[in-house]
A and B are shown apart, each in its own frame.
Chain A
Amino acid sequence: MNLSNLQLTRFFYICSMSHPSRKVIRADQRSIIPDFRELYRYKDLFYTLSWRDFKVRYAQTSIGLLWAIVQPALTILILYLVFGLFVGVKTEVPHLLYTVSGMSVWSYFSYVLTNSGNSIIANQGMIKKIYFPRLIIPLSKALIGFVDFGITLVILIILMIYYGIVPSANIWLAPIFLLIGVLAALGMGIWMSALTVRFRDFQHVLPFIVQIGLYITPVAYPAEFAVQRLPSWAAGIYYLNPMAGVIQGFRWTLFGGNPPDLYSLISFGMVLLIFITSLLYFRKVEDEMADFV
Chain B
Amino acid sequence: MSEVAISVKGVSKKYVIGKQKDGSLRGTLASLFSKRASKTEQFFAVNNVSFDIQKGDAVGIIGKNGAGKSTLLKILSQITKPSAGAIEINGRIASLLEVGTGFHPELTGRENIFLNGTILGMTRKEVTSKFDEIVAFSGIEKFIDTPVKHYSSGMYVRLAFAVAAHLEPEILIIDEVLAVGDAEFQKKCIGKMKDVANAGRTVLFVSHNIAAIKALCNKGILMHQGALPFSGGIDETINEYYKISTNQSNKTDFSKFNNEFIEVLSFQLTPTIGTVLSVESGVDFEISFVNKTLNSTIDTTFELRNIDDVIIFHRGTYIDEENGSKKGVYHVSGKIPAHLLNAGTYYLNILFGQNSTYLLMHCEEIISFDIENSIEDGNYKLLPGVLKPQLLLKSEFINHA
Contacts and interface: CB of A to CB of B under 8 A. Distances in A.
Interface of A: 21-28, 30, 44-45, 47-49, 52, 55-56, 59-60, 123, 125-132, 197-202, 287-288, 290-292
Contact of B118 (A28, A48, A287, A290): A48
A127 B79 CA distance: 7
Given A55-B107, A125-B101, A25 B23 contact: no
Contact of A129 (B15, B93, B101, B111): B101
Contact of A130 (B20, B26, B75, B101): B101
A59 B104 CA distance: 11
A127 B11 CA distance: 21
A228 to B, nearest CB: 37
Contacts of A290: 74, 79-80
B86 A130 contact: no
A21 B123 contact: no
B118 A44 contact: yes
A129 B84 CA distance: 21
B82 to A, nearest CB: 5
Given A48-B115, A52-B115, A287 B25 contact: no
Of all A-B residue pairs in the complex, the 5 with the closest CB atoms, nearest first, are: A131-B78, A287-B81, A48-B118, A201-B25, A199-B25
Contacts, number: 113
A44 to B, nearest CB: 5
14 contacts: A21-B170, A24-B86, A25-B78, A44-B122, A44-B123, A48-B124, A49-B115, A55-B107, A56-B107, A130-B77, A130-B101, A197-B23, A291-B20, A292-B23
Interface in B80-108: 80-93, 95, 97-98, 101-102, 104, 106-107
Contacts of A27: 11-12, 81-86
A21 B55 CA distance: 13
A24 B79 CA distance: 14
B28 interface: yes
Contacts of B77: 130-131
- The CB with the most chain A CB atoms within 10 A, among B25, B26, B75, B81, is that of B81
Given A21-B90, A44-B123, A291-B15, 18 more contacts: A23-B93, A24-B89, A25-B75, A27-B11, A27-B83, A28-B84, A44-B122, A48-B115, A52-B104, A60-B106, A128-B79, A129-B97, A198-B28, A199-B28, A200-B23, A287-B81, A288-B81, A291-B80
A264 B164 CA distance: 51
Contacts of B101: 125-126, 129-130
Interface string B53-82: 000000000000000000000110111111
A21 B169 CA distance: 10
Which one of A30, A52, A125 has the highest number of Cβ atoms from chain B below 10 Å of its Cβ? A52
B178 to A, nearest CB: 16
A130 B118 contact: no
A25 B118 contact: no
Given A52-B107, A52-B115, A130 B97 contact: yes
A44 B15 CA distance: 34
Interface of B: 11-12, 15, 20, 23-26, 28, 74-75, 77-93, 95, 97-98, 101-102, 104, 106-107, 111, 114-115, 118-124, 170
Contacts of A44: 118, 122-124
A25 B95 contact: no
A118 to B, nearest CB: 16
Contacts of B111: 52, 55
Given A27-B84, A48-B114, A199-B25, A21 B91 contact: yes
Given A52-B115, A287-B80, A132 B121 contact: yes
Given A27-B82, A291-B15, A199 B115 contact: no
B24 A201 contact: yes
Nearest to B84: A27
A233 to B, nearest CB: 30
B179 to A, nearest CB: 15
B198 to A, nearest CB: 21
Contact of B87 (A25, A28, A49, A125): A25
A130 B90 CA distance: 19
A129 B20 contact: no
Nearest to B122: A44
Contacts of A25: 75, 78, 81-82, 86-89
A22 B90 contact: yes
A55 B104 CA distance: 10
B78 to A, nearest CB: 4
A47 B122 CA distance: 13
A130 B119 contact: yes
B102 A126 contact: yes
A125 B102 contact: yes
Given A44-B123, A129-B97, A288 B86 contact: no
A180 B75 CA distance: 37
Contacts of A128: 79
Nearest to A52: B115
B71 to A, nearest CB: 10
B28 A132 contact: no
A255 to B, nearest CB: 41
Contacts of B91: 21-22
A45 B119 contact: yes
A129 B98 contact: yes
A198 B89 CA distance: 30
A126 B84 contact: no
Contacts of A55: 106-107, 111
